[in-house]
């Protein structure tokens, strides 16, 4: 039996669309499990601002996790301790998705 190239292409596209939908749905569910999410953006000082915000939230009694990507990318856990992220390749969206999944499992009040 010979499969038409268009049928094969259509099947692959359909599988990719379904996989993308499932991944997006799972990510939305994970994001919704974190009550307070703060994004720090800009050119300079993001790591410092992120650390200050996380420390303030922790001081206010919120279980808080943070991530900085300065000289070396780090996770700041609920106790305020740094853990270096060892990357085998450059930063990616997949890294962010896995990180949010990890944070959600830790049941934070804020990220």
pLDDT reported for residue 111:
96
Residue 89: phi and psi, rounded to 5, are -145, -175
Residue 52: pLDDT over 90: yes
Residue 99: inside a domain, yes or no?
yes
Q: What is the pTM of this model?
A: 0.81
Residue 24: inside a domain, yes or no?
no
Domain range enclosing 95: 33-105
The model's confidence at residue 54, banded by pLDDT at 50, 70 and 90, is very high
Residue 75: pLDDT over 80: yes
Residue 17: pLDDT over 90: yes
Alpha helices in the chain (DSSP H): 5-32, 46-59, 93-105
Distance CA 110, CA 61 (A): 11
| Nearest CA among 111, 104, 98 for reference residue 23 | 98
Residue 64: inside a domain, yes or no?
yes
Residue 67: inside a domain, yes or no?
yes
Residue 53: pLDDT over 80: yes
Residue 1: pLDDT over 80: no
Residue 28: inside a domain, yes or no?
no
Residue 71: pLDDT over 90: no
Number of domains in the chain: 1
pLDDT reported for residue 18:
98
């Amino acid at each position: 039996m010979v499969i038409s190239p268009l049928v094969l292409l259509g099947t692959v596209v359909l599988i990719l669309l379904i996989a993308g939908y499932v991944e997006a749905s799972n990510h939305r569910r994970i994001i919704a499990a974190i009550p307070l999410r703060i994004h720090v953006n800009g050119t300079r000082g993001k790591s410092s601002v992120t650390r200050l915000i996380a420390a303030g939230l922790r001081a206010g009694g919120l279980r808080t996790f943070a991530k900085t990507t300065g000289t070396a990318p780090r996770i700041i856990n609920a106790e305020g301790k740094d853990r270096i992220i060892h990357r085998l390749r450059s930063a990616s969206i997949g890294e962010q998705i896995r990180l949010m999944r990890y944070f959600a499992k830790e049941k934070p009040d804020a990220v």
